[in-house]
Amino acid sequence: MIDSATRLRVTSGIAKTETEASQIVFTTLKQRGHPDKPPPTISDGWGGIREAMVEVYGRVPSYSGRGRPPTLKQPG
């Protein structure tokens, strides 16, 4: 991941798929100072970024009392 303002590399992730590499990147960012929400990002469009963001920063919604309780994470 490259910072758009300074053009410096913030972090990188190496994995088998783009989604797994993105999860590594967002987990590192979460540990380094973005615990609540991810910083503004720009994607190359290859995919995996949205799924990684939801996995790392998503939350299971609270139960409203109707129907089955939610179990899947959703964007916050």
Whole-structure pTM value: 0.76
User: Is 19:47 a contact under the CB 8 Å cutoff?
Assistant: yes
Domain ranges of the chain: 1-76
Phi, psi (degrees; rounded to nearest 5) at 3: -70, 130
What is the per-residue pLDDT for 12? 86
Interior angle at CA 20, CA 48 and CA 76, nearest 5: 60
Distance CA 54, CA 66 (A): 24
Report the amino acid identity of residue 45: G
What is the per-residue pLDDT for 24? 92
What is the per-residue pLDDT for 16? 92
Residue 31: both structure tokens together: 């540990």
Mean pLDDT, consecutive 10-residue segments, the chain of 76 residues? 81 89 90 85 77 86 86 81
What is the per-residue pLDDT for 27? 92
